[in-house]
Chains A and B, each alone.
Chain A
């Protein structure tokens, strides 16, 4: 393969330049191990743009600071593979241990002030927040006694649009019990099912960059946050800042779930790890702070 600026492969210097810029804007760092993936996705962006070469496209992206162009690159470069009830054992932990702990810490159902708040970040195309909604409605014995707010947030506007539409194919729904599909979804043809309006309207969606401290201040007093499989893509400083922003979004004593293979132990010591039967979860300390 030859590498020309229009042949779908970036030069080493262009790759460096782009990844540095992308890191500064998003906190997401691509090493050369992701070279092939990045090259292909950028080629797609250039083809979809009025520019013909990497350099002219990149100059427009940088100099004009076009947010729509940046958004498109982010959409191309962030992976959004997900399905309903993924890593379900964490939802088990939420129902069996975490939510009872939250209710107790907040003075019990009768004395609780304000709703119970759950955040899915990143929520991608919506499978996670809707999975949380389904499991609460079907399996949480307190759901009729407690107000629950579910929020989903993602940096990618395209996946958020899909999350809002909430229509899913069979592959995405394969782990959802048939009875739940019948109860909470409507067939919209071509083997796709849309989450019913009642649930869709109860889930609030937000466009959010987890590394943006100022913007993250919109998130406050969450009891539970799911932040799965995203911090691993961040470099040291960005993952630290993301962790610190998540800390600020949690109520003292609130719980943070990371992805199955992730651990705070390589990121930040500000949370207290807590051992549950289903695995380790992190808590914002309740102490002096």
Chain B
């Protein structure tokens, strides 16, 4: 009783359980045990051949914590295939899925930018709202340019307000005309008017 040293710790080296083969892990990703699926998804980090299986898992996975693990591993790939495979879920009716996918895409600065022309032109305005959410966090020099374009051109007020929210942390005095034009485009949107008015003093103060 009391403090005891780890049993079988006479040798200082770590006893790491042998890693299952990639084939085994790919099967485990589809196991009925969610914890096995979660661990397998995490273990498949940097395994390119696992991408198709993991991408297929994103849409069907019912356990949020397994889906998070799948997305953590996929996002690290940051390739066009992964980005395109994730972007289809931005239109999902399931809030947990579309927000989790948007979060993952926001950590993919190499591949997410190539999706922007299509996403900015998506017919579903809910997809464009999610796109503004991605751009809010995407560490990419063009993020601001795309947001300004959404604010200037998007026909849906909720997309424009989402883009304004994403833009403001990086906005400066030069962006004031675009913001004012947005207010003029949607004169009946009280939130948009309030937001721009609240932001103006800070923006013009930095001129």
The 8 Å CB contact of B6, one of A144, A204, A235, A236, is A204
Known: A150-B3, A204-B6, A218-B15. A244 touches B63 (CB 8 A): no
Q: Which of A's residues lie within 8 Å of B, judged by CB?
A: 115, 133, 136-137, 143-151, 198-199, 201-204, 206-208, 213-215, 217-218, 235-237, 240-241, 244-245, 247-248, 268-270, 288-289
Q: A244 touching B3 by the CB < 8 A rule?
A: no
CB-defined contacts of A236 to chain B, threshold 8 Å: 103, 106-107, 137
A236→B75 CA distance, assembly (Å): 11
Q: A202 touching B1 by the CB < 8 A rule?
A: no
B76 at the interface (CB under 8 A from A): yes
Q: Given contact pairs A149-B5, A237-B107, A270-B65, enumerate 20 new A-B contacts (beta carbons under 8 Å).
A: A115-B4, A133-B3, A137-B2, A143-B1, A144-B2, A147-B2, A203-B3, A204-B5, A206-B14, A213-B45, A215-B16, A217-B17, A218-B14, A218-B15, A218-B17, A236-B107, A244-B68, A244-B72, A247-B65, A270-B64
A198→B5 CA distance, assembly (Å): 10
Known: A146-B1, A236-B107, A248-B42. A289 touches B63 (CB 8 A): yes
Q: B3 touching A204 by the CB < 8 A rule?
A: no
CB-defined contacts of A149 to chain B, threshold 8 Å: 3-6
CB-defined contacts of A143 to chain B, threshold 8 Å: 1-3
Known: A204-B9, A236-B107. A215 touches B14 (CB 8 A): yes
Interface residue tally on B, bucketed by range: 20 to 34
CB-defined contacts of B76 to chain A, threshold 8 Å: 237
Q: B69 touching A237 by the CB < 8 A rule?
A: no
The 8 Å CB contact of B4, one of A147, A235, A241, A289, is A147
Pick from B32-40, B119-127, B146-154 the stretch touching chain A. B32-40
Q: How far is the CB of A40 from chain B (nearest CB, A)?
A: 25
A-B contact count (CB 8 A): 91
Known: A147-B1, A204-B6, A245-B42. A237 touches B34 (CB 8 A): no
Majority DSSP secondary structure for residues of A touching B: mixed
Q: How far is the CB of B198 from chain A (nearest CB, A)?
A: 24
CB-defined contacts of A214 to chain B, threshold 8 Å: 16, 19, 43
A289→B66 CA distance, assembly (Å): 10
A289→B76 CA distance, assembly (Å): 25
CB-defined contacts of A147 to chain B, threshold 8 Å: 1-2, 4
A150→B3 CA distance, assembly (Å): 7
Binary contact readout B1-25 vs A (1 if CB under 8 angstroms, 0 otherwise): 1111110010000111101000000
CB-defined contacts of B38 to chain A, threshold 8 Å: 244, 248, 289
CB-defined contacts of A247 to chain B, threshold 8 Å: 65
A105→B181 CA distance, assembly (Å): 60
Binary contact readout B96-114 vs A (1 if CB under 8 angstroms, 0 otherwise): 0000000100110000000
Q: How far is the CB of A86 from chain B (nearest CB, A)?
A: 20
A288→B4 CA distance, assembly (Å): 32
Q: How far is the CB of A214 from chain B (nearest CB, A)?
A: 6
Question: Can you name 19 A-B residue pairings with CB atoms under 8 Å?
Answer: A143-B3, A144-B1, A144-B2, A148-B4, A149-B5, A150-B3, A199-B3, A202-B5, A203-B5, A204-B5, A213-B45, A214-B43, A217-B16, A217-B17, A218-B15, A236-B137, A269-B64, A288-B34, A288-B63
CB-defined contacts of A198 to chain B, threshold 8 Å: 3
